[in-house]
Amino acid sequence: MIVNITGKDIDITPSISERINERFKKLDKWKAQLIHARVVMNKARNGFKVDVTIGVPHRSLFASAEDPDMYAAINEVFNKLERQLNKIQHKEESRRNIKNVKDIEYEGEGGKEEGEE
């Protein structure tokens, strides 16, 4: 996966890009197919703002974080992305996805028994 890191009013140093790539490696534990990634870092009024967009099959994930400490903002935005990937991966297992009791056909006393037609 190619990671595009852009800095607005900030020079992207090797340590910043190393931290971002390190955090992307931690996202591999979710076994999601990450297609492309874009990181935009801005110098905001109160500190630093980090926006990350990740393309996954059939959707796009976006997270944003703002903090006075640049590395804290990077960690916060990647924690948000981890929560989104967790939600995607476990959506099929969620309670909402289980068939409703009303949808299950029930053949009780009024239904046909075996051997009857």
**CA–CA separation, 96 and 98 (whole Å):** 6
Alpha helices in the chain (DSSP H): 14-26, 70-89
* Residue 22, φ and ψ in degrees, nearest 5: -65, -40
| pLDDT tens figures, 54-82 | 998 888 999 999 999 999 999 999 999 99
**Per-residue pLDDT, 96:** 64
Report if pTM > 0.85: no
Q: Which domains does the chain have, with CATH numbers?
A: 2-94 (3.30.160.100)
Question: At 64, which helix (H) or strand (E)?
Answer: strand 59-67
Helix-helix angle 14-26:70-89, to 10 degrees: 20
Please give the distance of CA 89 from its chain centroid, rounded to a whole number: 9
**CA–CA separation, 42 and 49 (whole Å):** 5
Report the mean per-residue pLDDT for the chain: 83
- What lies within 8 Å, CB to CB, of 62 at 6+ separation is 51, 52, 53, 54
